[in-house]
Every structure is written in C-alpha cells, then in structure tokens.
Amino acid sequence: MLQGPGQFRHSINNLLRTQGECADELLSSLEAEREALAAGDAEQLDVVTATKSSLLQRLDELGRQQADLLDGLAFGQHPDGMSQALSWCDPGGDLARLQNLVVGQLERCRRLNERNGLSVQHRLGYVRRALDVLYGAPAGSGDVYGPDGRAKASSSSRLLASG
C-alpha cells in the first residue's frame, strides 16, 4: 500500500504514461484495421485483430492496476476518487492534464472502433443480401415468424446455382 503523495504521484504517473502509450498503439492498430477493412485484406485484418485484442487486454489490466492504486487511498472509493487523488498528490495539475490526454486518446479509440464496427456490419449486410439472391429469397425477406413465435424459413427459397 502506498503511503504518501510522492509515492502515489510516481506510481500513477508511470501508469498514466503506460496507458497513453498503449492507447497510441491501439489507435494505430484501429487505423490499420480500418485500412484492412477498406481493402478487404483478410490476412491483415487477422493480424490487426490479434494486436487489437492484446492491446485491449493490456488496457484492461492497466485499469485494474489504477483501481488497485486508488483502493489504497481514503478517497479511492468515491466516484471522483481519481481527481481527488490527483489533486492530493499533484496540486500543480500536471497529472490531471496527463489523465485528460489519456482519456481523450481512449475516446478517439472508441469512436474509431465504432466506425470500424459499422463498416463490418455494412459488409455483413451485403453478404447476407448476396446469399439471399443466391438462394432465391425475395428481396427484404428474412426469417418469418409463425403463430408460435418460432422462426421458419420462407418456403419460396430455392438455390439459383450449384457447383
């Protein structure tokens, strides 16, 4: 358990810097994911997805470490415990500014990840429509629900071609 403001300041500074570096890497990974999606490069997408997953796990671990640091302080359980801790150990506000930068980086990551997710959803929609055409499903059809609430396939579906 950390005792004084100097120890906490040193630990939280290192943690915030590591979070920032990890967020920078995640942002680069998300940009590479966007490019791979746009190019339809499945191999690159696999590589980038593995990197992204690893970085997200690392950020999760850093978040747990931050929570552990705050738990050792009297105000660590309060909703604004982090800002109170930063004010306590760094009255000049340097760490609060660093934290704001990290939060901004993570917000940019979140937005780009959402955009990438929308791109995946659009592509998935195209694939589903193409499969509908191949199987002869009428436009706009999908699962039909019977009186019992169970989905059943449309009976007019037929395979247009086979290999």
Distance in angstroms (rounded) separating the CA atoms of residues 35 and 22? 20
pTM: 0.76
Which residues in 20-31 are b (16+ Cβ under 10 Å) and which e? bebbebbbebbe
- Looking at the chain, which runs of residues are DSSP E strands? 144-145, 151-152
Q: Give the type of residue at 137.
A: A
**Residue 30, both tokens:** 């998300």
Q: H or E stretch including 160?
A: none
Which sequence spans correspond to the domains of the chain? Answer: 5-139
Partners of 151 in beta bridges: 145
List pLDDT tens digits, range 44-61.
999 999 999 999 999 999
- What are the CA-CA distances from residue 132 to residues 52, 124, 162 (Å)? 32, 12, 14
* Residue 128 confidence (pLDDT): 86
List pLDDT tens digits, range 97-112.
999 999 999 999 999 9
Top-level class of domain 5-139:
mainly alpha
Parallel, antiparallel, or unpaired: how do β-strands 151-152 and 144-145 relate?
Answer: antiparallel
